Amino acid sequence: MSRPTSPDPPRDGPWPRVQVDGDLERAGAEWLHTNGAGAYAMSTVSVMHTRRHHGLFVAALAPPLDRHVIVTHAEVSIEVGGRAHRISTHRFPGMAPTPGYRLLQWFAQDPIPRWVYRIGKAQFERKVALVRGRNALVVSHTWFGRAGARLTVRPLLSLRPVRGILHEHGYMVQGVSLRQGEVSLRPVPGVPELCFRHGGVFIGSPDWWRRFEYTDDSLREPSHEDLWTPGRFELDLLPGEPAYLTMSLGARVEAPAEQLLAETEAALLATDPGPERAPLVRKLYVAAGAFCALDAPRPAILAGYPFYDVRTRDVSVAAIGLMLARWRLDDAKRVLDAQVGELRSGLLPERWPEREGEVVVRSPDATLWLFEVARELADRTGAEDPFVRTRLYPALKRAFVKLRSGKTPGVWLTPDGAIANGDPEHALTWMSARAGTKLVTPRRGLAVELQALWTRACETLGALAREYEDEPILEATRAARDAARAAFAARFWCASTQYPYDCVSEVDAGPDAFQDASVRPNALLALAVDPSLFERWQAAAIVARVRAELLTPVGVRSLAPDHPDYFGVHVGPPQERESSFHQGTAWTWLVGSYARAALRLEPDDFELREELRTMVERALAQGPVVGQVAQLADGDAPHRPRGCPAQAWSVAEMLRTLVCELGM
């Protein structure tokens, strides 16, 4: 069999590709690669890290949580004909980036990340593949030249939590254990042993490389990091023959590197539904897989990369688009089984605890979103599905009883049946962000979307109770639903704005009475969740005002621009940035609510359907991470993507819109 003389061209289909040709700006796009169990690799196309969260090998020590950046960088060079060519790109303070990017021709993630460099008349290809479900990474190096070459790889380690930063210290354990083709070390006692497998020579030379600069962290302190290296690997490259470097944390991987790489490729290729689906749908199918940690001991959905872990509200919202819209029903059941396992006294935590004993806030809002995904699952499986009947239904009953009992901290039912958010200091709605210790949007009293989640939860549980002939729960849900609907009709419509109040007080008169008429998207959420709360003319008025004041080409603003607190650009120091989170930024996930609400009114409106498709296409195309959708964008034009660069519920709601609403 003859050896290949050039790398394979990028695959056709939904796979991201960036033509770089030595241009640093084009190489500034980010990429993301995950292992299905919480570990990830992420950087810019040039592999010049711009965030402390970037890394070539970020492991999940308690999959899918407790993520640590293990191997941050690798300093890579190739010697050809006595001349060394530096492949790596780094940034240090006050200096231009090191010039490895100038050799980079193109990057493709088809389906694993790979880079092709031009060195003289020859080419060099590098691939990375996280091992599915394991804290392990395979790096493949292939030289396409007429004669051989010599590769040098120096791993640069940080071995610290993903949100941390490392500075030079004298406590690294510098000893290594050497066996044929294997180097193992444990520089930090709190992190498992790191093992490298290789086919070359290891030369130990422990040292610190100092002052790597992360430009996206420049408004945080510190934004510079020192990295430690145990030494370097030298491998001979024969034309067309891959040379592998495998690294694993904890338990070793024994399978050959080429087998591990092929298994990862096969798993990722399987996420593509194929050319019979629309190209935009195929891209979002591929994007969806990055957030599904189905190979972890507790299957979950990661809320976003690289910042967020398992947030229970995000899991429920995202599971509909990431799993149910793709008819991954068994996967959805596994995730919901783990989600239900986090219920305590009928309530979900705001997020999964990272470690045993960690105290987390219980969230009635996140618990109510569980009813939404439960209804969507039951609609697809039928009420007699064993998981729905024996696992999900009892959990929903416990949550309903707890929320109705009046004994839930921060949340209770008013005498007329509305659900009250009495503790704004906790994140009891999705619209919660802090600037330092200050809650930016303290939505006390009765929040409009919580009413819809509550009435719809009663409807969902009641429908299941009817199927199971559970008369006490059926009667209780009917009574709670009817009372809440009547309370909503009496309290929430604002005649002056022709739009619902965002929040109202429990009392109608006196010094504590208030009505917040701010035009926010929460009324749109309420309409999407439970349209029965509104007359048709009210629904039309809500959609019209959203279109006029909140809708942008890539998302829905969190506050109307004419409000005195509006802040339409999500930039600046951390406190200023946090202050803008819900004060005008455009949230991509809300496109799904807009689609459902608007299409219920005009299901055959061709222009509306084309508008929605274009919004999804634009949000996907302009994301900072190739092939992914960002958390939010500036409310002001040109609506640059901001926030978490790859967000689960953004991808999920885009996919749900295309598949479930537009039928693509």
Question: Which pLDDT tens digit goes with each residue over 55-73?
Answer: 999 999 999 999 999 999 9
Confidence at residue 88, expressed as pLDDT on a 0 to 100 scale: 95
DSSP H stretches of helix in 187-299: 257-269, 279-288
- Which residue type sits at 62? A
CA distances in angstroms from 426 to 343, 407, 437, 523, listed in the order given: 18, 16, 11, 21
Mean pLDDT, range 86-104, rounded to an integer: 94
Q: Which residues 6+ apart lie within 8 Å of 655 measured at CB?
A: 281, 284, 285, 287, 288, 321, 322, 325, 326
3-state secondary structure 79-100: EECCEEEECCCCCCCCCCCCHH
Does pLDDT of 221 surpass 70? Answer: no
3-state secondary structure 393-428: HHHHHHHHHHHHCCCECCEEECCCCCEEECCCCCCC
Question: Which pLDDT tens digit goes with each residue over 334-376?
Answer: 999 999 999 988 889 988 988 777 878 888 889 999 999 999 9
Confidence at residue 364, expressed as pLDDT on a 0 to 100 scale: 86
CA atoms within 13 A on the CB side of 350: 13
CA distances in angstroms from 354 to 61, 276, 290, 341, 368, listed in the order given: 10, 41, 20, 15, 23
**Residue 464 host element (H or E):** helix 448-467
Residues 282, 287, 291, 296: is their CA dihedral positive or negative?
A: positive
What pTM was computed for the model?
0.95
Q: Helix 522-529 crosses helix 448-467 at what angle (to 10 degrees)? A: 10
Residues 560, 563, 565, 567: is their CA dihedral positive or negative?
A: positive
Structural domains of the chain, ranges and CATH numbers in brackets: 17-268 (2.70.98), 410-534 (no CATH), 536-664 (no CATH)
Average pLDDT of the chain to the nearest whole number: 93
Confidence at residue 175, expressed as pLDDT on a 0 to 100 scale: 87
Grade residue 424 by pLDDT with cuts at 50, 70 and 90: low
Question: Which pLDDT tens digit goes with each residue over 232-271?
Answer: 999 999 999 999 999 999 988 989 999 999 999 999 999 9
CB-based contact 236:150 (threshold 8 Å): yes
CB-based contact 20:34 (threshold 8 Å): no
Phi, psi of 393 (to 5 degrees): -60, -45
Confidence at residue 436, expressed as pLDDT on a 0 to 100 scale: 65
- DSSP SS3 for 348: strand
CB-based contact 261:127 (threshold 8 Å): yes
Grade residue 287 by pLDDT with cuts at 50, 70 and 90: very high
Alpha-carbon torsion angle 500, 505, 509, 510, nearest 10: -140
Question: Which pLDDT tens digit goes with each residue over 436-449?
Answer: 667 778 788 899 99
Q: Tell how strand 224-237 and strand 201-213 pair up.
A: antiparallel
Question: Which pLDDT tens digit goes with each residue over 568-602?
Answer: 898 877 777 777 888 999 999 999 999 999 999 99
- DSSP SS3 for 252: coil
Spatial distance between the Cα atoms of 279 and 13, rounded to a whole number of angstroms: 7
User: For the chain, what is the largest distance between any 2 Cα atoms, rounded to a whole number of angstroms?
Assistant: 87
Alpha-carbon torsion angle 252, 257, 263, 267, nearest 10: 80
Residues 536, 441, 646, 46: is their CA dihedral positive or negative?
A: positive
- Which residue type sits at 357? G
Question: Helices (H), strands (E): how many in the chain?
Answer: 15, 37
DSSP H stretches of helix in 165-307: 257-269, 279-288
Grade residue 4 by pLDDT with cuts at 50, 70 and 90: confident
Spatial distance between the Cα atoms of 51 and 590, rounded to a whole number of angstroms: 27
Grade residue 423 by pLDDT with cuts at 50, 70 and 90: low
Spatial distance between the Cα atoms of 661 and 327, rounded to a whole number of angstroms: 15
CB-based contact 233:78 (threshold 8 Å): no
Spatial distance between the Cα atoms of 445 and 492, rounded to a whole number of angstroms: 12
Share of the chain above pLDDT 70, in %: 97
Confidence at residue 218, expressed as pLDDT on a 0 to 100 scale: 61
Confidence at residue 372, expressed as pLDDT on a 0 to 100 scale: 97
Spatial distance between the Cα atoms of 89 and 102, rounded to a whole number of angstroms: 9
Grade residue 604 by pLDDT with cuts at 50, 70 and 90: very high
Does pLDDT of 640 surpass 60? Answer: yes
Confidence at residue 220, expressed as pLDDT on a 0 to 100 scale: 62
Does pLDDT of 1 surpass 60? Answer: no
- Which residue type sits at 10? P
Grade residue 409 by pLDDT with cuts at 50, 70 and 90: low
Spatial distance between the Cα atoms of 337 and 25, rounded to a whole number of angstroms: 44
- Of 316, 315, 294, give the one whose Cα is nearest residue 304: 315
